[in-house]
Amino acid sequence: MGQSDTFDMGDVCTEAKAGGALASLVPVIVAYVAAYYAKRHSGLKDCNVGTPSLCQTGAADIQQNLSAIVNVYKSYAQGFASCYGTSQPIVFEMEPDWYQYTASTQSQPMTPTMAGTTMTEFVNAIKSALPNAFFSMDVSPWVAPCNGSDNGAQWFANFDMSLFTFVNTSGGGTNANTATIRSSNAMTWAGLHRVTGKPILADTGYGANGVAAGLDPNWDIAADVNARMTDGVVSISQYNPGGSWGSIISGIRGQLGAPGSCP
């Protein structure tokens, strides 16, 4: 969400209606609005793609154009309210890699406090038109201090976590078969769940600039999935895993326990 300055996701509403591919299901929308705005209007690139990048001037661009970005959020919220309605739940995964805008690589980094208050503005912009929306806070497993060693306790303290029902991973890759979310970082699945008190929406990862990475087979091993559910994971998203994934998950479903209940 956010590839335009105005609402352009009517296809989600069409698919969510009776007879559509998502009928009776809850849409989960990745809200990349601030990042897309900076990419579209200032020619910035994702940090792992090239320069100039969101890791260099993204924070400055977002701060300078904050009111315009909030209006883009409002446009999408109003668009969904019009075509999807306001009585049914819808989930927004907010701003992947939000932590990057506080990094020392930024020309004008946000303070962690500013990152928190800005995120509240984005959430409230959506809630103004979609009062039954649910929100998920993005997780960067490398947050300070010490590469995620406190499981995000200091970082998440800057946010009004009462606004969020979930936390979610995004991009890169995540480990199904280890206690740590990523091998290069110290944050653990269980630690993240304990610190935030939120169920975890796990993303198995995708390539640079959102290119599909295909199936991650580790997330199809029943023992690993059960271990991650014990750690607080309640859902898994495989990005373009291929046509055989339906039969794969059907084959392991009987071996799986039940995830923790959502709030």
Q: Please tell me whether residues 10 and 70 are part of one structural domain.
A: yes
Q: How far apart are CA 192 and CA 41, in angstroms?
A: 35
Q: Please tell me whether residues 9 and 103 are part of one structural domain.
A: yes
For residue 163, tell me if it sits in a domain.
no
Q: Looking at residue 123, what is its pLDDT?
A: 98
For residue 218, tell me if it sits in a domain.
yes
Q: Please tell me whether residues 75 and 129 are part of one structural domain.
A: yes
Asked if residues 201 and 170 have their Cβ atoms less than 8 Å apart, the reply is no
Q: Please tell me whether residues 95 and 195 are part of one structural domain.
A: no
Q: Please tell me whether residues 114 and 29 are part of one structural domain.
A: yes
Q: Please tell me whether residues 116 and 229 are part of one structural domain.
A: no
For residue 156, tell me if it sits in a domain.
no
* Residue 244, Cβ density class (10 Å: 0-12 exposed, 13-18 middle, ≥19 buried): exposed
Q: What is the pLDDT of residues 158-207, one digit of tens each?
A: 999 999 999 999 987 899 999 999 999 999 999 999 999 999 999 988 76
Count the Cβ atoms, other than its own, within 10 Å of residue 139. 31
Q: Please tell me whether residues 184 and 235 are part of one structural domain.
A: yes
Give which of 92, 86, 59, 65 is closest to 5, Cα–Cα: 65
Q: Please tell me whether residues 37 and 77 are part of one structural domain.
A: yes
Q: Looking at residue 210, what is its pLDDT?
A: 67
Q: Looking at residue 208, what is its pLDDT?
A: 66
List the chain residues with pLDDT less than 70. 207-210, 262-263
Q: Looking at residue 48, what is its pLDDT?
A: 86
| Model pTM score | 0.95
Q: Please tell me whether residues 113 and 203 are part of one structural domain.
A: no
Q: Looking at residue 209, what is its pLDDT?
A: 63
Q: Please tell me whether residues 11 and 122 are part of one structural domain.
A: yes
Q: How far apart are CA 13 and CA 125, in angstroms?
A: 20
Cβ partners under 8 Å of residue 17, min gap 6? 23
For the chain, what is the domain count?
Answer: 2
* Residue 235, Cβ density class (10 Å: 0-12 exposed, 13-18 middle, ≥19 buried): middle
Q: Looking at residue 263, what is its pLDDT?
A: 62
Segments forming the whole domain that contains residue 201: 170-256
Q: Please tell me whether residues 132 and 46 are part of one structural domain.
A: yes
Q: Looking at residue 235, what is its pLDDT?
A: 93
Q: Please tell me whether residues 5 and 117 are part of one structural domain.
A: yes
DSSP 3-state of 33? helix
